[in-house]
Chain A
Amino acid sequence: AQSVSQHNHHVILSEAASLELGCNYSYGGTVNLFWYVQYPGQHLQLLLKYFSGDPLVKGIKGFEAEFIKSKFSFNLRKPSVQWSDTAEYFCAVNSPLYNQGGKLIFGQGTELSVKP
């Protein structure tokens, strides 16, 4: 079955540490890829997205993600995290082949806690 996997359930970092959150998907063919962030008590907000072109995508707040087609991965990175990055991060995939109408399939989420 098609799925999106985020292998890290909870990540704890100190401020200024580098971040990498993993995301893998099992869809073949063309995919559109997204990272969303959910700050405590708030709704999901789009961090960045990839449709085509340069596989290194830059988003808001210093986040970036790299699409590696051969690995079916779209990992999220940030060189230096801040306490305000404490949130839950969701990877999502849209597969035109498998998901009619453009629905997004979300991963389980990764909770990031940044210690000041």
Chain B
Amino acid sequence: DAGVIQSPRHEVTEMGQEVTLRCKPISGHNSLFWYRQTMMRGLELLIYFNNNVPIDDSGMPEDRFSAKMPNASFSTLKIQPSEPRDSAVYFCASSQGGGAYGYTFGSGTRLTVV
């Protein structure tokens, strides 16, 4: 099993540019979660999907953030336009059975907005 795969591993972009982060969950997992990690705020849940349907997006900071899960094997998190305060590590995680039994995390995308 290749685990949860995120790309890119690192992204450096200029303020105002669009950024797209990608995630491939573990095959057979039906829940997918996007987290953001910063020194100041720790781990924040941005949005999660069950069976490709967004369940709770209350953690999405503002309209500049959007997430999609067009099928069971792919999800994107998009920031448009990006701002320096979006700089963080973004983790994707997946699980079976809604996440109540724990998650498997991807390696994360380190985003730097200059």
- For the complex of A and B, the 4 pairs showing the least CB-CB separation, nearest first, are A102-B99, A102-B98, A102-B100, A101-B55
**Most chain B CB inside 10 Å of its own CB: which residue of A43, A46, A108:** A43
- From residue 28 to 42 of chain A, which have CB atoms closer than 8 A to chain B? 32, 34, 36, 42
> How many Å from the CB of A76 to the closest CB on chain B?
15
Q: Does A96 sit within 8 A of B, measured CB to CB?
A: yes
| Chain A residues within an 8 Å CB radius of B31 | 101-102
Q: How far is the CA of A109 from the CA of B39 in the complex (A)?
A: 10
Flag if B43 contacts A94 (CB, 8 Å). no
> How many Å from the CB of B8 to the closest CB on chain A?
15
State which of B43, B97, B104, B105 has its C-beta within 8 Å of the C-beta of A102. Answer: B97
Q: Does A44 sit within 8 A of B, measured CB to CB?
A: yes
Flag if B100 contacts A43 (CB, 8 Å). no
- Given A90-B43, A102-B31, A102-B95, A49:B56 Cβ within 8 A: no
Q: How far is the CA of A100 from the CA of B55 in the complex (A)?
A: 8
Q: B72-112 CB contact bits vs A (8 Å, 1 = yes)? A: 00000000000000000001010101111111111110000
Which residues of A come within 8 Å of B, CB atoms?
A: 32, 34, 36, 42-46, 49, 51, 90, 94, 96, 100-109
Q: Does B70 sit within 8 A of A, measured CB to CB?
A: no
State which of B42, B50, B99, B105 has its C-beta within 8 Å of the C-beta of A43. Answer: B105
State which of A44, A100, A108 has its C-beta within 8 Å of the C-beta of B91. Answer: A44
- Given A43-B91, A90-B43, A94-B99, A103:B105 Cβ within 8 A: no
- Given A102-B31, A106-B42, A49:B101 Cβ within 8 A: yes
Flag if A108 contacts B42 (CB, 8 Å). yes
Q: Which residue of chain A has its CB nearest to the CB of B45?
A: A103
Q: Which residue of chain B has its CB nearest to the CB of A6?
A: B42
Flag if A43 contacts B48 (CB, 8 Å). no
Q: Which residue of chain B has its CB nearest to the CB of A96?
A: B100
